[in-house]
Amino acid sequence: MKTKLLKIKELPIILILIVISIIISVANPAFMTLENFLDILKSNLVLAIMSMGMLMVMLTGGIDVSVSSVITAVAVITGYSLMHWSSNLLFTILVAVLSGTVMGLFNGLLIAKLKIPPIVATLGTMSVILGLVLYITNGTWMTGIPEKFIDFGRKKLITFPTGDGKALGIPIQFLFLLVAVLATWFILRKTVIGRGIYAIGGNRDSAERMGFKPDRIIIFVYAFEGFLIGLAAVAHTSIMRQVDPNAFLGFEMQVIAAVVLGGASVLGGYGSILGTLIGVSLFCVINNGLILMHIPTFWQKIVVGLIIIGSISIDMTQKKRTERNKTRVDVE
Amino acid sequence: MGQTLIELKNISKTFPGVKALENIGFSIDSGEIHALIGENGAGKSTLIKILSGVYQPDSGGQIILGGRVVESLTPLEALQSEIAVIYQDFSLFPNLSVMENIALEQSVKNNDNLVDWKAMERISRDALDQLGISLDLNTILGDLSIAKQQLVAIARSLANNARLLILDEPTSSLSKNEVRKLFDIMHSLKNKGMALLFISHKIDELFAISDKFTILRDGKYIGTYGEDELDDEQLISLMVGRKIEYTIYPKNKRTEPLLEVRGFSKKGNFRDINFTLHKGEILGLTGLVGAGRTEVAQAIFGLNPADEGTLLLDGKEIINSTPNDAVKAGFSFVPENRLQEGLVLSKSIEDNISLTMLDALSGKSSLINLKKRKELTRNWMEKMDIRPNIPEMITSKLSGGNQQRVVISKWLATDPKVLIVDEPTNGIDIGAKSGIHQLLRDLAEKGLGIIIISSELPEILAIADRVAVMRRGRIITEFFCENITQEDIMSKAL
Amino acid sequence: MKPELKRRLKSKEAVLFLIFVVIFVFMSILSPTRFLSLYNLQSMAYQLPEFGILALSMMIVIITGGINLSVTYTATLAMIIGGFAMSHMFAGGSSAGLSVLVGIILMLAGSLACGAFNGYVIAYIGVTPMLATLGAMTFFEGISLQVTRGGAISGFPIEFIKIGNTAVLGIPVPMIIFLFVLATVYLFLERSRMGATLYMIGSNPKVTRYSGINVRKNLFITYLIASLLAGIAGILMASRYNSAKESYGSSYLLQAVSAAVLGGTSIAGGEGKVIGTVIAVLIIQVISSGLNIIGLNRYLTNVVMGLILIVVLTINFLTREKQFRNN
Amino acid sequence: SSDKGSDELTIVVMPKLVGIPYFNASEVGAMQAGKDLGVNVIYTGPTTADAAEQVRMLEDLISKGVDAICVAPNDAAALTPVLMKAKSAGIAVLDWDTPADPNVVDLSIHQIDDKQYGEHIWDLLVEGMGDTGDYAIITGGLSAANLNSWIDAGLDYAKKTYPGLNLVTERIPSDEKQQVAYQKTLDLIKAYPNLKGVVGISTPAPLGAAQAVEEKGLSDVITVVGTSLPTDSGPYLADGSLKVGTLWDPSKLGYLTVVMAADFLKGNKPVDGQMVENVGKISVWPDGRTVIMGPPADFTKENYKTFNF
Ligand SMILES: Nc1ncnc2c1ncn2[C@@H]1O[C@H](COP(=O)(O)OP(=O)(O)OP(=O)(O)O)[C@@H](O)[C@H]1O
Ligand SMILES: Nc1ncnc2c1ncn2[C@@H]1O[C@H](COP(=O)(O)OP(=O)(O)OP(=O)(O)O)[C@@H](O)[C@H]1O
Ligand SMILES: [Mg+2]
Ligand SMILES: [Mg+2]
């Protein structure tokens, strides 16, 4: 058991997360409170959901920089649907995941069928989708989301009473994250396609020789990512209660950074759900800690940059050391 | 012999500028071990890729499979027709576990939607048990040595219960012992009625195991013969069109020391390695796979620096902490794994050969002299007989043997003092092999010191002056190669 | 010779050049008096260099299999460091010439420092370029903000402003600098020893290392050179904009990546031609200026750019397929 | 305007960026003015608040040949060279919303006096939380010049007038996003338990702050004020989490800009106290070229429904 624990690939990054958490909570005990964790959870749900999709994409050796534009487009469509079609929750979710899936499918087709490198294909779709959305909406906020939907967004799953009479609760949107994580886990771990995703990332030619259909798998992955983005858009809209077409500018970098921080390889084949969730957590905790630790505004970016580089450097050095000291021969 | 399992008629395959196969036709019966032989680039691997559906043959040919006539196969059809292949490049997944590498194919073949981990474990354990080896099923494949990876590839095809098992040079990085084990397995599979199509460049192996030989030359079908219809010489002359045998070279007298390795140790790799390489000498380094020979060679070359010990070149101490240092000091190193360590596969022959020569090709200006570069490439391509003779050819499209020649060229081009070659004739046909032996001998004559790592003892005995035997990270003994036999060496290595 | 010529005419770069010509002609027809005016041509020649140099900088890094997300913040951090010194010296009574000289030297030095930071983290520690430069981007931006407190640094001597805003014989000085940079980068990448090494590193770093090449050193120098180019772009921007600020040119980041890949550089590394990137930069410039003059909504311009990216790569794919089938 | 052949005037109005609510509202006003006055208005700007992009676009517009350029610079100094070029090409140069280099502009259209505006916001804060206690500032971006000038004015004013106010930490950037402002406010509430006020500068910032305060059930404890559009901030004003929003009508600013540009091209100078149709009475500084539109409007729970921007 002990050795198994030590063998976990994610160990260094887990340790970094723990160390940083300890430092923050020493500086400010308010960090280690249920309330703070719930706040972190709620404000980073969307990032976490999207990181699941990005993980899958990166496992195939791809990358998707269009996620921010896709979620913007889906949020706008969802908002429109809520205000003009129906405020029914299931219907809303359906609209969102459908439109997300369609956009993901489009990316997948460009990448699988036209063999356009993922970063380029998604750069292209990013310009096109975001350009169209902003042209159509002109960046105007969509306010006036139906109360029914907003009320749904305020619901709590489980509530914990606190001493001062207030009640804390797990936000209802946590369900979306749960669905995303479980679905991703199920696909990656339990389905043949899921193993195919790893196989393509490891050695595409061999995967093809083995009978996998890489094109189909890639299309599936991007479509599924779109599906998750649909969920993320609903969660986001229910939290923010309006749709701002500019809300996600530059968000793709955060998603990618969190996934890579969590140990996924940009070359494909390597990466895990646990690692990704830890990468996301590290990201959130750092951001959360900045204000809690009273770090002055003008130092914050310097600190964040150094922490990102520092933690990944520690991780890297660690890996190199294990690699160098690996036993290759049973010496007499 | 059993009945015909698969029949090929008129199979041709053309690549841009290369006619790799021309009207090939022969058949394979169940319950036979059928050897496919030919020089490097004869088209063996291509033929196999057609059988397994990776390549589509030119139209006009026929593949008759269990009475069904088709023009071509897809990978899935091939799998479902129970054709399993161990490719020259293994086709494994470095990021997946041993278990999945062995058993995932089953799920794909069965069109499963869900993974049955329990079944996977059972299948892969069975396959490994059949091979008589024990490996941790959850190890990530990339962490294994090449030899173990090859065993995994074999286990995978066993797991497939194939009716036709194709093995493209499966023994190239196995030691004698493991080869013997593999042959036992092949025999028992044959006795169960399976057909095996087997490719190897090692003549003794071919005769040890094959029932039939099909010979290809330059993409053309030469003939199929029973094992009793041919002897080595005939086989070789059919294959290359001339007579060739291992030349046993006269051994050198000792000259002055060139390279001295003193007390090299590295935890988990090797311990207390001492030997001296003389000018003009070829020193063989042998032992079982996993004895640590590659690790020692890499340590000398600065790839895997030793924890302790010293290195003397021409009596002066040097420190090779990176390959860059080593090359500057006059070392060359032909690595054992040409696909991952030897060649930049996506680049041309020219780019690869000139990679080690960039300094020499660019004068003070730092700009590369393109004319000189072309010349250099042409020279080496001729010298090493690299085919096809197109410097711009991307090396991933070369046959395995020709790839190896490119790697050797790039290292000989640097005009080294010490040349370390790790399994240099791996996958090279017998004709070319003797060419390489000749070349190494000539270089030694000129005063070069050469360390050759090889699991093929006849090769060591043929060209080395001296041989050091390694076992579990240590040098056990040294022999002069004049009056010893393979058995003398094996008894020490085990 | 003939097949060589034929091959060149069929190359990616030739196709791209054709696309450029088509777009240029199209814009000229849409707006003959304005787009095709001498003034506009000159104006495009003022605009293009800073972006062109950033695209080349990005391309060099992509060829080694990396990416540099901190490229624009390298340029701005460099201009802020140099600009800070320059404006203070000038305000403190130093001669304009000396202030400009010191300023420029510091800008180049600043960019080299950024390059050394990235290079060290990537080459010696071994952090994935994407993550390393993402961290560096935040880090550099942080330092810039810390220095400027969010404002702009201005008060440069007019001599400095002139670098980016004068023309010699009708050719803008930035354009002359760009041509010089272009020639140097071409010689460096496609003709020099180190350039050849970079392509090999981009294709397969392990094999390159096994070939006795000091991969780390080469990578380190690559980031130095790429950052130096960013520094030069920074000088041009600071001079053209008469000030230095941390956010200048931030929209160039993704555009630079697009230009490199549009120009045929393989994002996986190991492949790419300088001329391709240059043509791509020209295409982007012409579309941007042309559509702006015609008065198309700025967002639709982005849509057009995205479509062109997709279309060009699709054409590349289809021609490759066709060649493959014909053979 | 050589292609036109007619003598219709062409006026460019360039915001800091297009596609955000504030500048969309200005666009409406500017286009309306164009219609009313019979001039041709081009409203275009970069898609991100990047000065470099603005310069490039201005260069193209000079090539295009227009009569007047009215620009809201992302950075004043950065635009000086290109605006000088415009001038030497015979184009009238105006700034609006945010001042450009005063040496190159013919007219400067301000919605408001920056100093007064900053002070006004702090007055609103004190009205809500009293003149003692902890407060924080959430701004759109650290390098947005006009936001900074309001904050700086407000801070100066608070130092003198409300010494009891305690700013807990430097201004915190929110990248012009409500989501980020929301997140930062949550963190602020935990980091500074005695927080009594939040000032949100830039339109999404007060809303994000209000949302966080409302969710934590602290509407009665923490006063949120700031610059926001009345329509977007409606729900927060209604539930009391946002005490007051204050802003001018951006469409009027757009309208006024075009009117001033057209007047200038026709040779008319603005005069103090001049009545501009659809805008109101304007004031002009003694320099004769700085035009101030007028005081901002405050939006509260009671009155927000009466505004339409
Ligand atoms: N994808 C390809 N594109 C172009 N030519 C190819 C390709 N694959 C193989 N060839 C060519 O086809 C010929 C046959 O190659 P093949 O790999 O079948 O040889 P082989 O008999 O397996 O040789 P070896 O023993 O060296 O492995 C060679 O000339 C090779 O260069
Ligand atoms: N120049 C290089 N470029 C890329 N990877 C390298 C390089 N050198 C070493 N590595 C990788 O680092 C790991 C350790 O290699 P090696 O033992 O040669 O390192 P080293 O030179 O001893 O390291 P250090 O200089 O940090 O002590 C290996 O995984 C190797 O692939
Ligand atoms: Mg072969
Ligand atoms: Mg070995």
- Give chain C positions within 8 Å (CB) of A320: 126
Count other C-beta atoms under 10 Å from residue B71's C-beta. Answer: 13
Asked whether D73 and D98 are in contact (CB, 8 A), the reply is yes
Integer Cα distance of C235 and D110 in angstroms? 32
Nearest CA to ligand 2 atom 15: A324
Nearest to B405 by CA among B377, B375, B425: B425
DSSP letter assigned to residue C166: -
- Tell me, what amino acid is at C226? A
pLDDT above 50 (res D2)? no
Q: What integer pLDDT is reported at residue B182 of this predicted model?
A: 82
Other beta carbons within 10 angstroms of residue D214's beta carbon come to: 19
Residue A310, both tokens: 């520092």
Measure the CA–CA gap between C305 and C308, rounded to whole angstroms.
5
- Inter-helix orientation angle B146-159/B176-191, to 10°: 10
Nearest to B428 by CA among B172, B168, B147: B172
For residue C1, pLDDT over 60 is answered with: no
- The closest of B493, B494, B472 to B291, measured between CA atoms, is B472
Ligand 1 geometric centre to CA of B386 (Å)? 12
Q: Is B338:B411 a contact under the CB 8 Å cutoff?
A: no
C6-20, D192-206, D291-305: range with lowest mean pLDDT: C6-20
B305 close contact with A: CB closer than 8 A: no
Taking residue D149's Cβ as centre, other Cβ atoms within 10 Å add up to: 17
Chain centroid to CA D216: 30
Question: What residues of D are in the C interface, CB distance below 8 Å?
Answer: 2-3, 18-19, 42, 44-53, 55-57, 59-65, 74-81, 85, 89, 141-145, 148
Residue bearing the CA closest to ligand 1, atom 24: B40
Distance in angstroms (rounded) separating the CA atoms of residues C154 and D101 = 11
Asked if C121 and A309 come within 8 Å (Cβ–Cβ), the reply is: yes
pLDDT, one tens digit per residue, over A40-97 is 999 899 999 999 999 999 999 999 999 999 999 999 999 999 999 988 999 999 999 9
Distance from CA of D257 to the nearest CA of C (A): 20
CB A41, CB A174: distance < 8 Å: yes
The protein residue with its alpha carbon nearest to ligand 2, atom 11, reads A320
Query: Whole-angstrom Cα distance, residue A112 to residue A92?
Result: 30
What's the CA gap between C188 and C196, in Å, rounded?
Answer: 9
Q: Residue C36 pLDDT more than 60?
A: yes
Q: Is C247 on the interface with A (CB under 8 A)?
A: no
pLDDT greater than 80 at residue A208:
yes
DSSP-derived pairing of the beta strands C153-154 and C243-244: antiparallel
CA dist B244 and B431 (Å) reads 7
- Between C211 and D48, the more confident residue is C211
Q: Helices C129-148 and C96-119, interaxial angle, to 10°?
A: 150
Residues of D within 8 A of C46 (CB-CB) are: 59
pLDDT, position B253: 67
Q: Which of B15, B202, B239, B394 should be mutated for ligand 1, with most atoms under 8 A from CB?
A: B15
Inter-chain CB pairs, A–B, below 8 Å: 106
Touch of A by D (3+ CB pairs closer than 8 Å) = yes
Q: Give the residue from B42, B104, B52, B50 showing the smallest Cα distance to B76.
A: B52
Instruction: Please state which CATH number belongs to domain C43-314.
Output: 1.10.3470
Would the CB atoms of D47 and C289 count as touching at under 8 Å? no
Give the pLDDT confidence score for residue D5 in this predicted structure.
40
Distance CA D254, CA D268 (A): 19
Q: Please report the pLDDT score of residue B331 as a whole number.
A: 95
Partnered with residue B278 across adjacent β-strands are B257
The residue written with tokens 């770090």 in the block is A295
B476 pLDDT higher than 50: yes
Beta strands in chain D (DSSP E): 10-14, 40-43, 68-71, 92-96, 107-110, 133-139, 165-167, 172-173, 195-200, 223-226, 244-247, 275-276, 280-281, 283-284, 290-292, 297-299
Would you list the domain boundaries of chain C?
43-314
Output the pTM of the full model: 0.88
For residue B300, what is the enclosing H or E element? Answer: helix B293-300
Mean pLDDT, to the nearest integer, of D9-31? 90
How far is residue B82's CA from residue A330's CA, in Å, rounded to a whole number? 38
Where are chain A's structural domains?
2-331
Please state which CATH class domain A2-331 belongs to: mainly alpha
Instruction: Give C42 to chain B, closest Cα distance, Å.
Output: 34
| β D92-96/B316-318 pair status | unpaired
Cβ pair D80, C282 in contact under 8 A: no
Residues C262, C16: contact at Cβ < 8 Å? Answer: yes
3-class SS string, chain D: CCCCCCCCCEEEEECCCCCCHHHHHHHHHHHHHHHHHCCEEEECCCCCCCHHHHHHHHHHHHHHCCCEEEECCCCHHHHHHHHHHHHHCCCEEEEECCCCCCCCCCEEEECCCHHHHHHHHHHHHHHHHCCCEEEEEEECCCCCHHHHHHHHHHHHHHHHHCCCEEECCCCEECCCCHHHHHHHHHHHHHHCCCEEEEEECCCHHHHHHHHHHHHCCCCCCCEEEECCCHHHHHHHHHHCCCCEEEECCHHHHHHHHHHHHHHHHCCCCCCCCCEECCCEECEECCCCCEEECCCCEEECCCCHHHCCC
Supply the mean pLDDT for chain C: 91
Minimal CA separation from C202 to chain B, in Å: 10
Q: Is the pLDDT of residue A28 over 80?
A: yes
Residues in Cβ contact with B479 at an 8 Å cutoff, skipping those fewer than 6 apart:
B466, B467, B469, B488, B489
Q: Looking at residue C151, what is its pLDDT?
A: 85
Q: Is D273 on the interface with A (CB under 8 A)?
A: no
C178 — contact with chain A (CB < 8 Å)?
no
pLDDT digits (tens, 9 = 90+) for B253-266: 667 899 999 999 99
Atom of ligand 1 nearest to the CA of B44: 21
Q: How many CB atoms lie within 10 A of CB C105?
A: 13
Rg (chain B; Cα; Å): 23
The DSSP symbol for D197 reads E
Q: Give the model's pLDDT for residue A2.
A: 43
Peptide bond into B388 cis (omega under 30): yes
Q: Which residues of B touch C206 (CB under 8 A)?
A: 340-341
Q: Which pLDDT score, from 0 to 100, does residue A1 have?
A: 41
Which two tokens mark C143?
Answer: 């330092």
How does strand B308-313 pair with strand B316-318? antiparallel
pLDDT, residue D3, reads 42
For C259, the closest chain A residue by CA position comes to A120
CA D158 vs. chain centroid, Å, equals: 21
**Region class of C93: left (phi > 0), else alpha (psi between -120 and 50), else beta:** left
Q: Count CB neighbours of C95 within 10 A.
A: 12
Average pLDDT over residues B422-435: 82
Of A200, B337, A55, residue with least CA distance to C204: B337
pLDDT of res. B173: 67
Q: Which of A248-262, B192-206, D85-99, D253-267 has the lowest mean pLDDT?
A: B192-206
Q: Residue C231 CB: number of other CB atoms within 10 A? A: 30
Nearest to A141 among D21, D188, D211 (CB): D21
Cα D242 to Cα A173: distance, rounded to the nearest angstrom = 25
Nearest listed ligand to the Cα of residue C324: 1
C-alpha–C-alpha distance, residues A136 and A76, integer Å: 10
CA B410 to CA B383: how far, in whole Å?
12
Contact flag D81-C243 (C-beta cutoff 8 Å): no
> How confident is the model at residue C286, as a pLDDT?
94
Whether residue A7 lies within 8 A of chain B, CB to CB, comes out as: no
- Tell me the two tokens of residue D45: 């700007």
Q: Which residue of B has its CA nearest to C197?
A: B355
Above 70 in pLDDT, residue D1?
Answer: no
Interatomic CA distance for residues B29 and B211, integer angstroms: 11
Nearest to B453, CA basis, from B288, B316, B329, B261: B288
Residue ranges and CATH numbers for the domains of chain B are 4-240 (3.40.50.300), 257-493 (3.40.50.300)
Tokens 């404006």 appear where?
A: C87
Q: Which residues from chain C sit within 8 angstroms of residue B368, using beta carbons?
A: 191-193, 196
8 Å CB contact of D76 and C252: no
pLDDT tens digits, one per residue of B385-428: 888 889 999 999 888 888 988 999 999 999 899 999 998 887 78
DSSP state for residue D291 in the 8-state scheme:
E
Ligand 1 neighbours by CB, cut-off 6 Å: B 15, 18, 20, 38, 40-46, 88, 388, 397-402, 427, 429
Tell me which residue of A40, A35, A33 sits closest to A167, measured CA to CA: A35
- From B45, B49, B384, the mutation candidate for ligand 1 (largest count of ligand atoms within 8 A of CB) is B45
Highest mean pLDDT among A179-193, B89-103, B119-133, C156-170: A179-193
Cα–Cα distance, A267 to C278 (Å, whole number): 27
Among candidate residues B422, B417, B379, B420, the one with its CA nearest the CA of residue B404: B422
pLDDT in tens, A83-103: 999 889 999 999 999 999 999
Q: Is D269 helix (H, G, I), strand (E, B) or coil?
A: coil
Look at residue B245 and tell me whether its pLDDT is greater than 70.
no
Who contacts B133 (Cβ-Cβ below 8 Å, separation ≥6)? B151, B155, B181
Residue B258 main-chain phi, psi, to 5 deg: -110, -55
CA of B318 to the centre of ligand 2 (A): 19
